[in-house]
């Protein structure tokens, strides 16, 4: 199981991510009860149904899902999980930047998938605030070091929109 | 030259600590090889044929004497006492131990140097013109904006894991000397209606699929360059191909969409960032620009220089016009015949540092042609500097001539190479070792790459040589007519490839065709443009068996 890091601590996780088994489609899959993170296709196909039976709704975005396609729905989500199938696939950083900076998404933004120590600093800067650290990695060490590896940054990003040159004395 | 402030220093020191910890975790098995690979790449560490190759950044080619002394020291202490300057403003060491690299980085940080993002699928070192600030054809000095862009690229959180590497070059002169047409983003500084800005070129590149870039924006005010580049990069990061590394560069995306559609996407993206916090402020420009003010030039009268033939030859080839009267820029050639082009020993680096201190305000540059430039030398010092350069074997007068070859490390060192490149360069240098002959041949760029990744820029050589693999044998494909500059274009393949042994003869035949056909004052390229490729092709393949005859010959052997 991945370890969820939130607010600088390992945190419990009430959320279940709905995965489609073989033969299931977004239209046919049974919607489980509880706190569920729905893949974008399921959300798009079953939006009314999901809203009617879930108070707390999560969304899962894959690297090739376009934020623009769900921009009008962001108020429904308590959590949006952005998947990194491989940590070298950097599309999720743009997804997060767009969600936070352009569409002003305020809920939990969770990095899931191949989430590793050395990417956490970048992930935090683009706006992730929870991190499903890959199974087997040292969460305590990551909490101690990974988010503060650099004490400043040149560019503007979600957590500090002002670039260093606007803050330099 | 730019001097670090507190933020710059803090970040570079934190980088050293970060990499030290990454190496430790990798050694301890906490990071797998696959997890460690992109991390070490973004610190310039490749695993190569013999050992790791370590690439140190020389941002936009600028260095001071203390920095090159440190490079000399590092090469001596951690390597075999020499390094190799690449075509993109880096110094490569061929034999360091991975375990030593954190220490090397710490020593480099002391003199404000690093290896940040010198490889990997990220924003790479920004390159520019080696005569920035002194060129007589300069419109705007590109260095302040290059430094501002260097900072912006460093640890950019959104663009650390791009589909593929991303290279930016800036030119501030009339004549482009930074190969801007063949970069992911190429920038030409210019002035329009009193406003300074850039022509922005996108989607160029050499490598496996060489493509000349296209203009995405004819004029962009300089203040907008960061936000505009972020728009380009966001479109690329989201939509560039990731399924095939050979099709992952931005040039493939631009070609697939077409420049019009790509431009529309970028402009739509930029509409959100335009005028935002990434807009460069005048205060920041001024802060950085104060580091690049002109040194204290003396006003000097005309000097009489010795008529000595060897010195005059060097003056002609290795010194260049300067915008201040009484000064010249000097190129120290790293193209000594018989040595790997771009290679330099620690002792030579120290000699360069001394020359810079004594004659050029303690600063130097490196060029994409893999040479060193002392940019601000008094004419009255030229003879003295020449004598010292000769003693240090840095005065081969072949800049712009046939043996001033651009060459990648090739199959002797590089794991990607299909063929060796250095021995080809050396064999050609040996064949054309006669200076009278070299000067008679005149200006010609010969570029050699050991594989289609094109680190030796073979596509833009007047004569380009590309190492290819045919049934595990090393062969060389020759192109003619490529060029850098404002009219940059790709060379044309002359025909089937040649063995290593044939290469000096092939080059000699090409040169003969030129010499026989040239009009007075025609350079190689002029003659080539006038007579076309056929006369060269005919000569080179004259009497050469091909088709059935070749097969029969092979069978007989």
Domain tally, chain B: 4
A7 touches chain B (CB under 8 A): no
CATH number at residue B372: 3.30.70.3340
Domain that holds residue B433: 406-556
Q: Would you say residue B137 lies in a domain?
A: no
In terms of DSSP bridges, do strands A77-84 and A57-61 run parallel, antiparallel, or are they unpaired? parallel
Q: Would you say residue B199 lies in a domain?
A: yes
Residues B455 and B520 reside in one and the same domain: yes
Looking at residue B555, what is its pLDDT? 65
Q: Would you say residue B165 lies in a domain?
A: yes
B97 touches chain A (CB under 8 A): no
CB atoms within 10 A of CB B501: 8
User: Across B337-391, where does the E strand assignment appear?
Assistant: 343-345, 363-366, 372-378
Chain A residues whose CB is inside 8 A of the B237 CB are 90-91, 93-94
Pick from B35, B152, B242: CB nearest A154: B152
Residues B370 and B280 reside in one and the same domain: no
Asked whether residue B234 carries a pLDDT value surpassing 70, the answer given is: yes
Q: Would you say residue B294 lies in a domain?
A: no
Asked whether residue B547 carries a pLDDT value surpassing 60, the answer given is: no
Residues B386 and B411 reside in one and the same domain: no
DSSP for B389-414 reads HHHTT---S-TTSTTS-EE--GGGT-
In terms of DSSP bridges, do strands B463-470 and B446-449 run parallel, antiparallel, or are they unpaired? parallel
Is this complex scored with an ipTM above 0.95? yes
Kindly report the CA angle at B541 between B540 and B544, in degrees rounded to 5?
130
Residues B552 and B428 reside in one and the same domain: yes
Cβ separation A157–B121 shorter than 8 A: no
Paired tokens of B243: 């399924």
Looking at residue B51, what is its pLDDT? 74
Q: Write out residues 76-105 of A within 8 Å (CB-CB) of B.
A: 87-91, 93-94, 97, 102
Cβ separation A93–B14 shorter than 8 A: no
| Tens digits of residue pLDDT in B399-410 | 999 999 999 999
Kindly report the CA angle at B84 between B82 and B88, in degrees rounded to 5?
155
Chain B residues whose CB is inside 8 A of the A162 CB are 277
Residue to mutate among B6, B25, B161, B290, with most A CBs inside 10 A, is: B161
| Tens digits of residue pLDDT in B293-314 | 999 999 988 899 999 999 999 9
Of B254, B288, B322, the domain-final residue: B288
Asked whether residue A116 carries a pLDDT value surpassing 60, the answer given is: yes
* Structure confidence at residue A27 as a pLDDT band (50, 70, 90): very high
Mean pLDDT, chain B, as a whole number? 95
Residues B154 and B236 reside in one and the same domain: yes
Residues B227 and B324 reside in one and the same domain: no
**Among residues of chain B, what percentage have pLDDT more than 70?**
97
Chain A residues whose CB is inside 8 A of the B281 CB are 165-166
Q: Would you say residue B127 lies in a domain?
A: no
A155 touches chain B (CB under 8 A): yes
Q: Would you say residue B163 lies in a domain?
A: yes
CATH number at residue B80: 3.90.480.20
Domains and CATH numbers, chain A: 3-167 (3.20.20)
């Amino acid at each position: 199981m991945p370890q969820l890091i939130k607010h600088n601590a390992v945190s419990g996780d009430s959320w279940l991510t709905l995965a489609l088994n073989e033969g299931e489609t977004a239209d046919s899959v049974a919607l489980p009860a509880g706190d569920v993170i729905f893949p974008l296709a399921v959300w798009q196909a079953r939006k009314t149904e999901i809203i009617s039976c879930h108070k707390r709704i999560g969304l899962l975005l894959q690297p090739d899902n376009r934020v623009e396609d769900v921009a009008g729905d962001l108020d429904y989500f308590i959590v949006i999980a952005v998947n990194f199938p491989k940590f070298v696939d950097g599309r999720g950083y743009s997804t997060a930047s767009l969600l936070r900076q352009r569409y002003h998404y305020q809920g939990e933004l969770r990095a899931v998938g191949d989430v590793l120590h050395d990417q956490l600093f970048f992930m935090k800067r683009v706006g992730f605030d929870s991190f499903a650290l890959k199974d087997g990695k040292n969460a305590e060490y990551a909490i101690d070091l990974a988010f503060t590896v650099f004490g400043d940054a040149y560019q503007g990003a979600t957590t500090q929109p002002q670039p260093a040159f606007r803050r330099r004395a | 030259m730019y001097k670090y402030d507190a933020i710059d220093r803090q970040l570079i020191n934190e980088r050293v600590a970060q990499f030290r910890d990454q190496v430790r975790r990798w050694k301890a098995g906490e990071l797998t090889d696959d997890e460690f690979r992109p991390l070490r790449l973004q610190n310039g560490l490749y695993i190569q044929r013999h050992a790791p190759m370590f690439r140190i950044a020389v941002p936009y080619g600028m260095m001071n004497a203390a920095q090159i002394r440190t490079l000399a020291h590092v090469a001596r202490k951690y390597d075999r006492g020499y390094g190799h300057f690449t075509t993109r403003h880096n110094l490569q060491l061929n034999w360091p131990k991975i375990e030593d690299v954190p220490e090397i980085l710490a020593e480099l940080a002391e003199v404000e140097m690093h290896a940040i993002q010198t490889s990997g699928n990220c924003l790479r070192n920004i390159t520019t013109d080696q005569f920035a600030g002194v060129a007589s054809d300069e419109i705007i000095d590109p260095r302040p904006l290059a430094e501002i862009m260097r900072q912006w690229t460093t640890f950019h959180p959104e663009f650390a894991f791009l589909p593929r590497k991303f290279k930016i070059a800036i030119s501030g002169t009339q004549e482009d000397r930074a190969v801007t047409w063949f970069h992911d983003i190429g920038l030409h500084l210019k002035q329009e209606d009193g406003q300074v800005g850039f022509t922005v070129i996108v989607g160029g590149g050499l490598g496996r699929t060489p493509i000349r870039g296209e203009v995405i924006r004819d004029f962009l005010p300089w203040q907008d360059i960061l936000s505009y580049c972020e728009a380009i990069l966001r479109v690329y990061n989201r939509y560039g191909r990731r399924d095939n590394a050979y099709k992952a560069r931005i040039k493939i995306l631009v070609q697939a969409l077409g420049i019009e559609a790509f431009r529309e996407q970028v402009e739509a993206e930029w509409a959100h960032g335009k005028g935002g916090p990434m807009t460069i402020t005048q205060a920041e420009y001024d802060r950085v620009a104060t580091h690049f003010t002109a040194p204290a030039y003396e006003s000097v009268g005309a000097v009489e220089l010795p008529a000595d033939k060897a010195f005059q030859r060097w003056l002609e080839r290795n010194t260049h016009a300067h915008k201040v009267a009484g000064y010249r820029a000097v190129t120290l050639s790293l193209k000594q015949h018989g040595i790997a082009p771009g290679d330099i020993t620690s002792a030579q680096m120290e000699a360069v540092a001394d020359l810079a201190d004594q004659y050029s305000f303690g600063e130097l540059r490196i060029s994409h042609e893999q040479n060193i430039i002392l940019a601000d030398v008094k004419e009255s010092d030229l003879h003295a500097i020449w004598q010292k350069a000769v003693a240090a074997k840095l005065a081969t007068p072949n800049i712009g001539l046939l043996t001033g070859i651009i060459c990648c490390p090739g199959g002797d060192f590089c794991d990607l190479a299909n063929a060796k490149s250095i021995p080809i360069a050396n064999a050609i240098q040996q064949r054309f070792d006669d200076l009278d002959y070299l000067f008679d041949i005149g200006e010609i760029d010969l570029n050699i790459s050991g594989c289609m990744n094109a680190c030796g820029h073979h596509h833009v050589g007047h004569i380009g040589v590309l190492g290819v693999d045919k049934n595990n044998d090393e062969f060389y494909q020759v192109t003619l007519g490529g060029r850098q500059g404002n009219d940059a274009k790709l060379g044309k393949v002359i025909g089937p490839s040649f063995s290593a042994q044939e290469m000096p003869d092939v080059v000699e035949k090409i040169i003969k065709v030129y010499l026989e056909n040239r009009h007075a004052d025609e350079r190689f390229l002029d003659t080539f443009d006038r007579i076309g490729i056929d006369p060269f092709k005919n000569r080179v393949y004259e009497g050469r068996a091909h088709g059935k005859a070749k097969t029969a010959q092979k069978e007989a052997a």
